[in-house]
Amino acid sequence: MPPADQKRFDRRSSKPTFRKPQRPHGAAAGFDDGIVRLYGVHPVEAALRNPARTISKLMVTENAERRLAEAIAARGARPEPASPRELDRLLGEDTVHQGVMLETEHLPEPELADLAELACAGGPIVVLDQVTDPHNAGAVIRSAAVFGASGIIMTRRHSPPLNGTLAKSASGALEVVPIVMTQNLARALIELKGSGVRVIGLDGDGETLIDDQSFDGPVAIVLGAEGKGLRQLTRETCDILCRIAAPGAIQSLNVSNAAAVTLHLSAMRRRQGAG
Domain of 89: which CATH number?
3.30.1330.30
- Give the pLDDT score at 253: 81
C-alpha span between 226 and 56 (Å, rounded):
36
- Give the pLDDT score at 53: 95
Residues 58 and 134 in one domain: no
C-alpha span between 49 and 84 (Å, rounded):
24
Residues of the chain scoring pLDDT < 50:
1-16, 21-31
C-alpha span between 72 and 58 (Å, rounded):
9
Residues 195 and 144 in one domain: yes
Residue 109: strand pairing partners: 19
DSSP classification of residue 227: T
C-alpha span between 53 and 42 (Å, rounded):
15
CB atoms within 10 A of CB 211: 13
C-alpha span between 252 and 244 (Å, rounded):
8
- Give the pLDDT score at 153: 98
CATH of the domain at 238: 3.40.1280.10
- The residue out of 72, 104, 136 marking a domain boundary is 104
- Give the pLDDT score at 273: 72
- Give the pLDDT score at 272: 82
Residue 67: partners with Cβ closer than 8 Å, 6 or more residues away: 41
Question: Residue 49's domain spans which residues?
Answer: 32-104
Residues 256 and 146 in one domain: yes
- pLDDT tens digits for 209-268? 999 998 999 999 999 987 788 999 999 999 999 999 766 555 668 999 999 999 999 999
For residue 224, which of 253, 249, 187, 188 has the smallest C-alpha distance? Answer: 253
The amino acid sitting at 268 is M
For residue 223, which of 196, 210, 211, 270 has the smallest C-alpha distance? Answer: 210
Total domains in the chain come to 2
- pLDDT tens digits for 53-64? 999 999 999 999
- Give the pLDDT score at 251: 60
Residues 76 and 211 in one domain: no
Residues 45 and 83 in one domain: yes
For the chain, what is the radius of gyration of the CA atoms?
A: 19
- Give the pLDDT score at 175: 97
Alpha helices in 106-184 (DSSP H): 112-121, 134-146, 164-170
